[in-house]
Amino acid sequence: MPTTATLTIEDLAEVPAFQDLPPDVLAWLLAHGERRDFSPNETFVQPGEPAEYMMALLQGSVQFSVVRNGQREAIFRTEKGTVTGVLPYSRLRTFGGYGVALEATTVFALHRNWFPELERVSPELVQRLVGLMNDRAREEVRGQERDDKLRALGKLAAGLAHELNNPVAAISRAADTLANHAAAEPELLTALLAAQVPLDTLAPLLALANRTAMPGASLSALEQSDREEELIDWLYAQGIADATVLAGGLLAGGLEADDLAPVLSALPAAARTPALRWLELQLGNRQLVRDVKQASHRISELVGNVKDYSHMDRAAGRVPTDLHAGIDSTLALLSYPLRKQRVRVSRNYAPGLMLVTGQPGALNQVWTNLIDNAIDVLPEGGELTIKTRRDGDQVCVSVIDNGPGIPPDVLPHIFEPFYTTKPVGEGSGLGLDIVRRIVLSHNGRVQALSQPGRTEFCVWLPVNE
């Protein structure tokens, strides 16, 4: 709050930005500015308030924070000697967060209306303040880029964790079942031997257990139920007491009555039930091993996708880069949000597309930002198309969605840093600026075309001949 307490030239001279200024400049600042004092925990700026004053902290400290996802999040803290608030040539018009005094704080405040006069009085001070503003902007951009990368990494990590959960759970279930089977096997083998099965009749049983043939075409639930009922009836007719328990496992192993009949007919009646119990367990074990192999293969694929996406096993720098491989690894890592939204993905790749010279990790960040933005705007069941083509000495990668489109008044601004139409805390406005800068660093260009029902981002990159 403003106060009538006076400030001196010595007070202002303690601020690094004001040091070594002529006394008449400091006197001008005292004449046109004002002192403001704040109590501990007092809020002196709030979101939406006009940014009208340059503020130099003469005493105390201030914590600045923003609201994200309904929670206040600290972003930076200023101490005694810091100049903050609006600065000459700044485009800041309103505050986007809170400023709270952490202790008794004294501020020298100068209204922005005096900036033109300040430039006449002291071009040197204005130059210093513009330098502070540029440093602040660069630091903010770096911070926002780090936040954007962390948010993107969080999304990829969440999707990857979900993708890994299924094969890991399958392996865990298979391991538990195999352990139970291993514990039951001695008892089954003992029961089979107790039935005094002739050795020559075991060979056909072992052959069935080692059969690699699996059921052919998948059956509907009704067809599967009918087959199981038929096998149960047949097993009961053969005197098998556990027919209802065994039928499902035998069918899953690809065995039906025609396969089992020759084997059972050669066995003593007392040996048939323990023989089928043992057979069903062996078939189950084989299927569990297949499940573990498939799940392990899926995990290997996911690890491969991560390595392809990040290129963490390759040297840094620019190398000949396969765009299709990078796009595919990005889509694989974003498969969970794509499935969650039931987004249909179409790949329309040009055959024999030439390589481009670039940084694979940086280009994958381009595809991530563009595809992630498309997922955000697509309705459930929407369509995403990735299209590549060659045009002369350039290749074009198009990311197309059938979402609502970008309004005409918004489209010219989408590549501007910090421009966003998302609610406060949900977007930094740097995603497309990062895309633009990465593409420019590869001597390429990016453009956006949009109308309701079709938005296309085109990334043009030079071909590596």
In this predicted structure, the answer to whether residue 444 has a pLDDT above a threshold of 70 is: yes
pLDDT value for 395: 92
Nearest to 57 by CA among 32, 84, 31: 84
Average pLDDT over residues 104-114: 93
Average pLDDT over residues 341-352: 89
pLDDT value for 216: 47
| 157 φ/ψ angles, rounded to the nearest 5 degrees | -65, -40
Say how far apart CA 320 and CA 268 lie, in whole Å.
Answer: 70
Q: Using an 8 Å Cβ cutoff, are 397 and 386 in contact?
A: yes
pLDDT value for 426: 47
Best mean pLDDT range from 48-52, 65-69, 168-172: 48-52
Q: Which residue has the higher pLDDT, 216 or 116?
A: 116
Say how far apart CA 36 and CA 31 lie, in whole Å.
Answer: 14
Say how far apart CA 436 and CA 421 lie, in whole Å.
Answer: 18
Average pLDDT over residues 80-89: 87
Q: What are 211's two structure tokens?
A: 């059969």
Q: Which residue has the higher pLDDT, 32 or 224?
A: 32
Task: Please name the CATH architecture into which domain 9-121 falls.
Answer: Sandwich (2.60)
Q: Which residue has the higher pLDDT, 294 or 317?
A: 294
Percent of the chain at pLDDT exceeding 90: 20
Q: Which residue has the higher pLDDT, 439 or 218?
A: 439
Percent of the chain at pLDDT exceeding 70: 84
Q: Which residue has the higher pLDDT, 84 or 216?
A: 84
Would you place residue 153 in the very low, low, confident or very high pLDDT band (cuts 50, 70, 90)? low
In this predicted structure, the answer to whether residue 354 has a pLDDT above a threshold of 80 is: no
pLDDT value for 459: 94
In this predicted structure, the answer to whether residue 198 has a pLDDT above a threshold of 80 is: no
pLDDT value for 292: 85
In this predicted structure, the answer to whether residue 126 has a pLDDT above a threshold of 80 is: yes
Scored b (16 or more CB within 10 A) or e, 354-383 reads bebbbbbbbbbbbbbbbbbbbbeebeeebb
Say how far apart CA 78 and CA 84 lie, in whole Å.
Answer: 8
Would you place residue 145 in the very low, low, confident or very high pLDDT band (cuts 50, 70, 90)? low
pLDDT value for 257: 83
pLDDT value for 26: 92
In this predicted structure, the answer to whether residue 419 has a pLDDT above a threshold of 60 is: no
In this predicted structure, the answer to whether residue 19 has a pLDDT above a threshold of 80 is: yes
| 331 φ/ψ angles, rounded to the nearest 5 degrees | -60, -40
Q: How many CB atoms lie within 10 A of CB 34?
A: 15
Would you place residue 32 in the very low, low, confident or very high pLDDT band (cuts 50, 70, 90)? very high
Question: CA dihedral defined by 407, 409, 412, 413, rounded to 10 degrees?
Answer: -90
pLDDT value for 428: 45
How many residues does the structure list for the chain?
A: 465
Q: Mind listing the pLDDT tens digit for each residue in 264-305? A: 877 778 878 888 888 888 888 888 888 788 778 777 767 766
Looking at every residue in the chain, the average pLDDT score rounds to 81
Residue with tokens 């890994």: 164
Say how far apart CA 372 and CA 463 lie, in whole Å.
Answer: 26
Q: Name residue 465's amino acid.
A: E
pLDDT value for 293: 82
Say how far apart CA 198 and CA 235 lie, in whole Å.
Answer: 22
Would you place residue 181 in the very low, low, confident or very high pLDDT band (cuts 50, 70, 90)? confident
In this predicted structure, the answer to whether residue 114 has a pLDDT above a threshold of 90 is: yes
Identify the helix (H) or strand (E) that includes residue 333.
helix 323-333
pTM above 0.85, yes or no: no
In this predicted structure, the answer to whether residue 106 has a pLDDT above a threshold of 90 is: yes
Best mean pLDDT range from 137-151, 286-300, 346-360, 392-406: 392-406
Average pLDDT over residues 381-409: 90
pLDDT value for 135: 76
In this predicted structure, the answer to whether residue 423 has a pLDDT above a threshold of 50 is: no
Q: Using an 8 Å Cβ cutoff, are 241 and 277 in contact?
A: no
In this predicted structure, the answer to whether residue 384 has a pLDDT above a threshold of 90 is: yes
Same fold, 9-121 and 315-462: no
Q: What are 302's two structure tokens?
A: 């996911």
Q: What are 33's two structure tokens?
A: 């500015």
Q: What are 280's two structure tokens?
A: 């069903």
In this predicted structure, the answer to whether residue 387 has a pLDDT above a threshold of 90 is: yes
pLDDT value for 389: 92
In this predicted structure, the answer to whether residue 417 has a pLDDT above a threshold of 70 is: no
pLDDT value for 3: 47
Crossing angle of helices 257-265 and 221-237, in 10° steps, is 20
Annotated domain spans of the chain: 9-121, 158-304, 315-462
pLDDT value for 214: 52
Q: Mind listing the pLDDT tens digit for each residue in 207-259? A: 887 775 554 446 667 777 778 888 888 888 887 877 887 887 788 777 888 88
| 384 φ/ψ angles, rounded to the nearest 5 degrees | -120, 130
In this predicted structure, the answer to whether residue 386 has a pLDDT above a threshold of 90 is: yes
CATH of 315-462, one of 3.40.50.300, 3.40.50.261, 3.30.565.10, 1.10.287.70: 3.30.565.10
Average pLDDT over residues 323-349: 87
> Residue 316 burial (CB < 10 Å; 0-12/13-18/19+)?
exposed
Identify the helix (H) or strand (E) that includes residue 307.
helix 269-310
Q: Distances in Å between the alpha carbon of 150 and those of 68, 156, 162? A: 15, 10, 18
